[in-house]
Structure 1
Amino acid sequence: MSNPAGFWRRLAANLLDGIIIGLPLTIISYLVTGNWDGDPATNVINILYSLIIPVLWYGYTIGKKIMGIRIAKVNGAKIGFGAMFMRIVVGGIVYLVTVGIGLIVSAFMVGLRKDKRALHDLIAGTYVTFDAPSEDIKKAAV
């Protein structure tokens, strides 16, 4: 585990994902349903994007790629659907059950911990790094 990405870079990547993926989905949803309240299909697509794209794209999302960071496994293995499920779904449930307190704690963890890991990273065995994927990871994906 090396070269972890900090709070501001991770926040910017998430905001970019929201602008590039979330905003167009919301607009399309409004055009289809006539409702700004949020279509469940839009939420499902956002979750699927967060689960699938990092697995297929070596830990990157569009926002993370722009910011030069990616999700990686602490043990060096290729990021998989299990880790992404733990990170997105189980981590999201923890944040929901704690009424957002877990999210605030995670922000402080990323800002203050040397390894920059949030609660969802600890749950999933992941971290966010500036390092590009190794050739071993790329070969394992082929």
Structure 2
Amino acid sequence: MRQSEFIQELKINLAEKLSEQEVEDILADYESFFTSGREEGRTDDQISRELGSPAFLAQSLLEEQDGKNNKVMNKRIANPGKRLCAFLIDSIIASIPSFIVSLFIGSAVLPFILMILFYSSPAVSLSLFSASASFHEEESYATVTDAKGQVVKTQIEQSGNKPASALIDASIAGTALYLLYSLLCTWLLKGQTLGKKMMRIKVRASTTDPASKGAIFYREFLGKILINSIPIVPLVSIFTVLFTKEHKALHDMLAGTIVTDC
């Protein structure tokens, strides 16, 4: 069988069963087999006999493709909606320690809101906490004039208020607790945070095996803490979760993990 006849029959058997691009890639591979075979001194008939029947080859290729598709389906990839709900639950849980600490400072609402809003980007959260601490410090002083007419700064005594440094300590503690929650919780609960547990999803290796501690470290610390501290990164992750085949965030791509239904 000549190359043109072989390729044409293979194309007919694959047409409308695979995408045009996939068919073109397969045909290009088999054309290269004929080219390399002729360079070695074999005829088209000899090469086609070695390759086998085009119909049989097409059937094998289709079965292989079905196997790949089934493997992806068997991963039971969690949908983005579940991941979003788990994220919101975790952001609230991770923010509760900061909220409790802030009750003793006199500024409970703002730190709590900041921890929730910027849960995905710790550096931004810490910066805003520091800014709120500075604002709190400025508010705790008043400008007055002494007997000689000189302007002085006097601290305002407010019941229940602590110095602004306590708010800074609370912001650092809140960020540290965020790190412990995200990383250690995923370690201890074998791929789940409390939010993921409630939504019945978990982190696994891309092969669907349980995620190793190393992979979790890459995902939760290097990916979600360090890299996500660059403000644009969480925004990019939103698009990758929505539009990639396995709904992977950038930290999943870094660690070689997926999020699946339990």
Q: CA separation in 1, counterparts of 2:78 and 2:208?
A: 16
Verify the 8 A CA contact 2:218 2:254 in the aligned structure 1. yes
Match for 2:95 among 23, 27, 30? 23
1:32 CA displacement: 4.4
- What pairs with 1:31-50 in structure 2 (closer than 5 Å)? 31-34=103-106, 36=111, 37=129, 38-50=170-182
Verify: 1:5 aligned to 2:78, yes or no.
yes
Higher relative contact order (CA 8 A, sep 6+): 1
Q: Which residue does the alignment assign to 1:70?
A: 202
Q: CA separation in 1, counterparts of 2:234 and 2:171?
A: 24
User: TM-score normalised to the size of structure 1?
Assistant: 0.78
Q: CA separation in 1, counterparts of 2:101 and 2:232?
A: 30
Which runs of 5 or more residues in structure 1 are unaligned?
A: 133-142
Verify the 8 A CA contact 2:183 2:220 in the aligned structure 1. yes
Q: Which residue does the alignment assign to 1:93?
A: 226
Q: Which residue does the alignment assign to 2:252?
A: 121
Verify: 1:52 aligned to 2:125, yes or no.
no
Moved more, 83-92 or 32-41: 32-41
Q: CA separation in 1, counterparts of 2:208 and 2:102?
A: 41
The AA in structure 2 aligned to 1:94 is I
What whole-Å deviation, never above 9, does each CA across 1:10-45 have from its counterpart, x for those lacking one?
1110101122x2232122221345454352112111
Q: CA separation in 1, counterparts of 2:80 and 2:210?
A: 23
- The count of residues paired between Structure 1 and Structure 2 equals 128
Q: Which residue does the alignment assign to 2:39?
A: none
User: TM-score normalised to the size of structure 2?
Assistant: 0.45
Verify the 8 A CA contact 1:59 1:70 in the aligned structure 2. yes
The AA in structure 1 aligned to 2:200 is G
Q: CA separation in 2, counterparts of 1:65 and 1:109?
A: 23
Q: Which residue does the alignment assign to 1:139?
A: none
Which runs of 5 or more residues in structure 2 are unaligned?
A: 1-71, 112-128, 130-169
1:126 CA displacement: 0.7
Verify the 8 A CA contact 1:52 1:81 in the aligned structure 2. no
Verify the 8 A CA contact 1:53 1:60 in the aligned structure 2. yes
RMSD over aligned CA atoms reads 1.9
Structure 1 runs of 4+ off > 4 angstroms? Answer: 32-35
